Amino acid sequence: MDTTLVKIDSSQLSFLKGFSLLDNKNLVKRYKWHAFRHYKNRNITQIIGPLVIFIDSDLPKNVKSEFIKFIKDIPKINNLSFAFTNDFEKANYFIDVMDNEVSSYPYEEKLELSEAEIKDITFSEMTYKFYANNDHKLLSCHFKISRSIINDDLFLIKLKKGFFRSLGNFFESKYAPKESILYNKPILETKYITDYDIMMLKYHYQHLYDFKVDSEIFDSLIILRKKIIK
């Protein structure tokens, strides 16, 4: 067994036999960028159980309708499912419109952004925080939106991109297809979930890991997969 996996029992690796997605070098390379970027100590974060979504009533009705349709169009993915509720107490994913300005960027950093950058950056005026257990499995998520942007032309696209990214704590990439939710700019072509996006979700949720997986461990899993199928 690879030395990076010495603390993982071999019984935890039986899923590799059916993880044929790891054989596609090109898609694996793309997935690794979206999941880890260049951060060696970043762990894969996965959602536990069905995602039950509560949407703030202040979200414009047309935006809410299109957003729900977008989520319902996501095909069935192993270990990932969605539901909607109007009961706050039954939700584990909360989308809130905030009166105060919110951003994933600290106040000082945001002041340095140009108008063009603010327009292009998905989380310049939105942010999310998820709560996870020790295995980096998502238990709940609070997605916050600045009220000032909810009527902007690109808001719905940014909302779709932001929500999708939160499913795996994904990074965007300029190398993703321009129509992809994971492309690094909210262009008008980014309206629907693409086959590329679906594949990234499949990589992310093919197996719910019961151990921490960073980029080094993920590379070791690929090597072990090759040994298993010889």
pLDDT tens track for 179-205: 999 998 877 767 789 999 999 999 999
- Give me the pLDDT at residue 229, please: 82
- What integer is the mean pLDDT of 2-25? 79
pLDDT tens track for 84-107: 999 999 999 999 999 999 999 988
* Distant-in-sequence, close-in-space partners of 46: CB < 8 Å, separation ≥ 6: 79, 136, 137, 138, 168, 204, 205, 208, 209
CA distance 70 to 230: 41
pLDDT tens track for 31-89: 999 999 989 889 998 888 899 999 999 999 999 999 999 999 999 999 999 999 999 99
Q: Mean pLDDT check: name the lowest of 13-22, 180-189, 209-218.
A: 180-189
- Give me the pLDDT at residue 116, please: 85
CA distance 223 to 53: 37
- Give me the pLDDT at residue 48, please: 84
- Give me the pLDDT at residue 36, please: 97
Phi, psi (rounded to 5 degrees) for 137: -95, 130
Q: Mean pLDDT check: name the lowest of 1-5, 23-27, 113-117.
A: 1-5
- What integer is the mean pLDDT of 150-164? 94
Has residue 21 got a pLDDT over 50? Answer: yes
- Give me the pLDDT at residue 3, please: 53
- Give me the pLDDT at residue 2, please: 52
Q: Which segments of 52-186 does DSSP mark as H helices, in order?
A: 61-72, 107-111, 115-120, 155-168
Has residue 5 got a pLDDT over 60? Answer: no
Has residue 4 got a pLDDT over 90? Answer: no
What CATH topology corresponds to 3-228?
Answer: Collagenase (Catalytic Domain) (3.40.390)
Residue where the block lists tokens 């899923």: 15
CA distance 59 to 218: 38
Q: Where are the domains of the chain?
A: 3-228
- Give me the pLDDT at residue 1, please: 46
Has residue 215 got a pLDDT over 60? Answer: yes
- Give me the pLDDT at residue 8, please: 65
Query: How many degrees, rounded to 5, is the angle at CA 179 between CA 176 and CA 181?
Result: 70
Full-prediction pTM beyond 0.85? Answer: yes
